[in-house]
Amino acid sequence: MSYLTTDNVRISGFAACVPKTMEDNLNLSLISGDEAKKFIESTGVRYRRIADNKTTTSDLCFHAVSKLITDLSWQKEDIDCIVFISQSADYILPATSCILQHRLGLSQETYCLDISSGCSGWVYGMSVITSLLQNGNFRKGILLAGETTLKLGSAFDKSYWPLFGDAGTATALEFIPGNKSINFHFCTDGGGFEAIIIPDGGFRNPFKPESLNYKEIEPGISRNNLHVHLNGMDVFSFAITKAPDTIKKLVSHFQLNIEEVDAFIFHQANLYMNEKIRNKLKLPANKVPYSLNKFGNTSSATIPLTLVTEWREKLMTSRQRLIACAFGVGLSWGSVYFETDKIICSNLVEI
Amino acid sequence: MYSQKRIIIIPENTLLNCCNFTLPMEADQFVKHFADQFDETDASEFRLDTIFRNIEEWSSIIALSIIAMVDEEYGVSIKGDDVRTSNTIQDLYEIVKSRL
């Protein structure tokens, strides 16, 4: 039983940053005209943003959080903790959150933590940062979640490249005594660890020259062992059963009124899969926003990115009751119920 | 020690019938559900012994919709390897049946 409640924490704002450079799946040499149209229709992904060689996830997160701190009019000395969620850190070591503490000009009295997590990362990160803040020792915190997914995969792999994009996000949170609880449910199946994996370059299979050798798996799918190997069918069969399951458990355990939920923000994996999940839960289309068409799958960034680009007006002008659900690499999945009330939601930052 | 025991041979069908508490799974119904995932290929082209990978319309998206169909119609989870190691519709049918 992996249910969790955190109290006394308010979500004060969201921001997201994407690279200006855009790729259009209709113009990819990897997939032909007809195939590309079918691909876009079924996956829902047409445009994706791609970071240049010099730009890392932490750069995208840095610009997102800088904008958010300005829009919130926060004093930097009030920020007591930052948590950085990514699987594309700046270095093997040190932790990227330490670099960001200095770059953001935060006090040396700042708690900094990196968490290696992918698609489910924002939901897990929220549980960590709200737990840190909930007793009032830390006043304000920032959760950074992002990925340069296209630096992790092969440009010659049509089962990966056209689906993914780069983004960095920031979620601002603060200790407010008595604020409405946040409810979570989490699950893990490490038995599926090979469904999404970069085989080499860690310490199980250290980098060796052969790691760079491209292998053609099938026509249109070539990659090496430093690239993500994605078993689409396994991930699909996992997600269409586990994502509805965690939301049902969250709603039932915390006795939430599903009718009163204003929006269900799913990890943006692909439209075909996400619509299966939506239909299984019998959710109305107008309560399930998508940013897939514009940004593709940006790993742990998809939930805040979707909130910033598709739900901004509602977040800024009204009270919102939201359920977010994320699933993927690990295999790891979970869901969270939270409320917001007229919060700051920065305009999308493009660099 | 086995010689002291009497071996009773139960016909396979009997065993199946007495253990199968779910609705019986009909092969022709499975073929129909399978065929429903295709837009362009005529339903008459689908039989239990059809090698589905050779159907021109076969694609990775149709593979996903087969996985979704099996989940929805039979409540059974099949994986990428189940699809990859199957050649005919019957191969998949047998996998699904064994997990009911």
pLDDT tens digits for range A185-198:
999 999 999 999 99
Is B80 close to A234, i.e. CB distance below 8 A?
Answer: yes
Contact with chain B for residue A231, Cβ under 8 A = yes
**Residue B19 C-alpha, separation from nearest chain A C-alpha, in angstroms:** 26
pLDDT band with cut points at 50, 70 and 90 for residue A146: very high
Kindly determine whether residue A237 and residue B79, on different chains, have CB atoms separated by under 8 Å: yes
Cα gap A239→A333, rounded to integer Å? 9
Which tokens go with B58?
Answer: 């076969």
| CB-CB under 8 Å, B67 with A237 | yes
- Look at residues A129, A120, A117, A121 and name the one whose alpha carbon lies nearest to residue A6: A129
CA dihedral over A46, A52, A56, A60, signed as positive or negative = negative
Query: What residue in B sits closest to A279 (Cα-Cα)?
Result: B72
Residue B3, helix vs strand vs coil:
helix
Mean of the pLDDT values across residues A154-180? 97
- The answer to whether A193 faces chain B, any CB pair under 8 Å, is no
Q: Do B80 and A276 touch (CB under 8 A)?
A: no
In chain A, residues with a C-beta closer than 8 Å to the C-beta of B80 are 231-234, 237
From the list B59, B67, B71, which residue is nearest A233 (CB)?
Answer: B67
What does the DSSP assignment read for A161-225?
Answer: GGGB-EEEEEEEEEE-TTPPPEEEEEEE-GGGTTSEE--SSSSSS---GGGG--EEEETTEEE-T
Rounded to the nearest 5 degrees, what angle is found at the Cα of A191, between the Cα atoms of A189 and A193? 90
Q: Residue A56 has which token pair?
A: 């890392």
> Which residue, among A173, A174, A168, has the nearest Cα to A348 in the 3D structure?
A168
CATH number at residue A65: 3.40.47.10
pLDDT at residue B24 in the model: 59
**Pick from A159, A232, A241: which is nearest to B77 by CB?**
A241
User: Which residues does chain B have within 8 Å of residue A236's beta carbon, measured at their own beta carbons?
Assistant: 64, 67-68
Candidates A236, A274, A282: best to mutate against B (most CBs of B within 10 A) is A236
Of A38, A233, A241, the CB nearest to B64: A233
Asked if B77 lies within 8 A of A159 by C-beta distance, the reply is no
Record: contact B61-A233, CB cut-off 8 A: no
C-alpha A84/C-alpha A58 separation (Å) is 8
CB A293 within 8 A of CB A44: yes
CA distances from A328 to A40, A102, A119, A188, A312 (A): 21, 31, 5, 10, 25
Contact criterion met (CB below 8 Å) for A8 and A176? yes
Q: What is the pLDDT of residues A69-108, one digit of tens each?
A: 999 999 999 999 999 999 999 999 999 999 999 999 999 9
Over the stretch B15-66, which tens digit does the pLDDT of each residue have? 444 444 445 578 999 999 999 999 889 999 999 999 999 999 998 889 999 9
Query: Taking the CB of residue B62, how many other CB atoms lie within 10 A of it?
Result: 19
**Which of A42, A231, A240 lies nearest to residue B61, judging by beta carbons?**
A42
Mutation target vs B (from A157, A237, A240; most B CBs, 10 A cutoff): A237
Residues A53-71, mean pLDDT to the nearest whole number: 98
Please check the confidence at residue B1 and state whether its pLDDT lies above 50: no
pLDDT of residue B9: 53
Contact assignment for A272 to B64 by CB distance below 8 Å? yes
The answer to whether residue A253 scores a pLDDT higher than 60 is: yes
| B71 to A237: CB separation less than 8 angstroms, yes or no | yes
| Structure token digits, residue B60 | 């990775």
Measured between CB atoms, does A274 come within 8 Å of chain B?
no
pLDDT of B59: 87
Domains held by chain A: number: 1
- B60–A237 C-beta distance less than 8 A: no
The whole-number average pLDDT for the span A225-239 is 95
CA dist A292 and B14 (Å) reads 51
Residues in chain A: 351
Candidates B37, B56, B60, B65, partner chain A, best to mutate (most A CBs within 10 A): B60
Q: What are the distances in angstroms from CA A322 to CA A52, A260, B78?
A: 34, 9, 32
CATH no. of B24-98? 1.10.1200.10
**Nearest in space to A335 (alpha carbons), one of A271, A272, A283:** A283
Question: Rounded to whole angstroms, how far apart are CA atoms A288 and A295?
Answer: 16
Chain B residues inside the 8 Å CB shell of A272: 61, 64-65
Which pLDDT belongs to residue B8?
52
Query: What's the pLDDT at B17?
Result: 44
Q: How far apart are CA A300 and CA A148, in angstroms?
A: 10
Report domain extents, chain B.
24-98
Does B63 sit within 8 Å of A237, measured CB to CB? no
Would you state the structure tokens that stand for residue A47, as one six-digit string? 């445009």
Q: What is the pLDDT of residue A1?
A: 80
* Cα torsion A233, A237, B82, B25: sign: negative
**φ, ψ of residue A157 in degrees (nearest 5):** -120, 100
Buried/exposed A280-295: b ≥16 CB within 10 Å, e otherwise = bbebeeeebbbbbebb
Residue A53, domain extent: 1-351
C-alpha distance from B32 to closest chain A C-alpha (Å): 20
Indicate whether B4 pLDDT > 60: no
Instruction: Count CB-CB contacts under 10 A for residue A199.
Output: 15
What's the pLDDT tens digit per position in A281-292? 999 999 999 999
The answer to whether B64 contacts A38, with C-beta atoms less than 8 Å apart, is no
CA atoms within 13 A on the CB side of A146: 36
The four Cα atoms B52, B58, B61, B66 give a dihedral, to 10 degrees, of -20
pLDDT digits (tens, 9 = 90+) for A297-310: 999 999 999 999 99
> In the predicted model, what is the mean pLDDT of chain A?
97
A233 chain-B contacts, CB cut-off 8 A: 60, 63-64, 67, 79-80, 83-84
Q: How far is B53 from chain A (nearest CA, A)?
A: 14
The predicted structure's pLDDT at residue B2:
46
